[in-house]
Amino acid sequence: MSDTPDLARIIARNTPQEGVFQTLVPGLSLIRADDPGMPMPTVYEPSLCIIAQGAKTVSLGAQTLHYDDAHCLVAGVDLALIGQVTAASPDHPYLCCKIDIDQTVLADLIAADGNALPPGNPPPLAVHPIGPELLDASTRLLRLLDRPHSIPVLAPLVQREILYHLLNGPQGAMLRHAASGDCHLGQVSRAIGWIRHHSHEQLRIRDVAGEARMSISSLHHHFKRITGLTPLQFQKQLRLQAARQMMIAEGINAGSAGFAVGYDSPSQFSREYRRLFGAPPRADISGLN
């Protein structure tokens, strides 16, 4: 694609080292990795991910998707995934932009469109070739980083255009189902939102099912089918990811981080942390520094 090298230059210019960088554009983050990585658990919010350079795999349960600078990844709901950068080097780093999907704008576009909900049960995660219109709009959004005074006015317009292209592309059915309250993907999306909002609290599956407007048995079945996890497993991943981020960003100890995300038992926190990340909290964080 003709705009991919330009996208790579913009991301490289705004990522001076490895890591995830939030930008002045709300909902836009940039990612850089200088070497291939190990498989790493992570939580994806509804978003569009475009690789400008390098390659990555993401796994949801038994499903593994590969994408590179010719493809984009779209997550329609919050998902706990295993991600791995597979192509990167110091001279040719992995460069990616992540554009969050604004649910309010998405709902507004769907309402304006007025089309009936497409049939079927689309998956919550998909990789497709990135079309020229979507790539062009995404590149124009990143170019605003060089004109910060224009961001408040122009960024919302370009982000709306990006969502329009997604809705009218191969990802459209997934996004429409995720935004609908009348299909399983939309119902599970509501359940996920409830769990995220109450992640620090004891999980009461009856409350989650009520929010999703599903029976408890239906919630368990479709939640596991869509996310690859039970609601309780999903909550655990949210808690552990949040605790890990606290330890990395704020330098707090494992006991404090575990307590902050809802664990009463330090030993349980350490045990579940090791099961997810492959090492106890202190060793894991030390290996990242």
Q: Given this model, what pLDDT does residue 8 score?
A: 95
Shared-domain flag, residues 105 and 64: yes
Q: Is 157 left (phi over 0), alpha (psi -120 to 50) or beta?
A: alpha
Shared-domain flag, residues 185 and 172: no
Q: Which domain holds residue 87?
A: 4-176
Q: What is the CATH number of the domain that holds 126?
A: 2.60.120.280
Shared-domain flag, residues 85 and 214: no
pTM of structure: 0.86
Q: How many domains does the chain have?
A: 3
Shared-domain flag, residues 185 and 271: no
Q: Given this model, what pLDDT does residue 289 score?
A: 59
Q: Given this model, what pLDDT does residue 1 score?
A: 44
The answer, yes or no, to whether residue 2 has pLDDT greater than 50, is no
Q: Given this model, what pLDDT does residue 219 score?
A: 94
Q: Given this model, what pLDDT does residue 3 score?
A: 62
Using CA atoms, how far residue 146 sits from 13, 14, 161, 186, 264, in Å, is: 10, 10, 20, 37, 46
Segment 262-276 mean pLDDT = 92
Q: Which residue has the higher pLDDT, 182 or 192?
A: 192
The answer, yes or no, to whether residue 132 has pLDDT greater than 50, is yes
Shared-domain flag, residues 169 and 191: no
* Predicted confidence band of residue 14 (pLDDT cuts 50, 70, 90): very high
Shared-domain flag, residues 62 and 38: yes
Q: What is the CATH number of the domain that holds 278?
A: 1.10.10.60
Shared-domain flag, residues 110 and 207: no
The answer, yes or no, to whether residue 182 has pLDDT greater than 80, is no
Shared-domain flag, residues 244 and 214: no
Segment 238-253 mean pLDDT = 89
Shared-domain flag, residues 86 and 24: yes
Shared-domain flag, residues 25 and 118: yes
Shared-domain flag, residues 56 and 146: yes
Cα separation, 249 vs 268, in Å, equals 22
Percentage of residues in the chain with pLDDT exceeding 70?
Answer: 98
Q: Which of 176, 191, 213 finishes a domain?
A: 176
Q: pLDDT tens digits for 77-124?
A: 999 899 999 999 999 999 999 999 999 999 999 999 877 788 888 899
Shared-domain flag, residues 266 and 187: no
66 C-beta neighbours (distance < 10 Å), count: 13
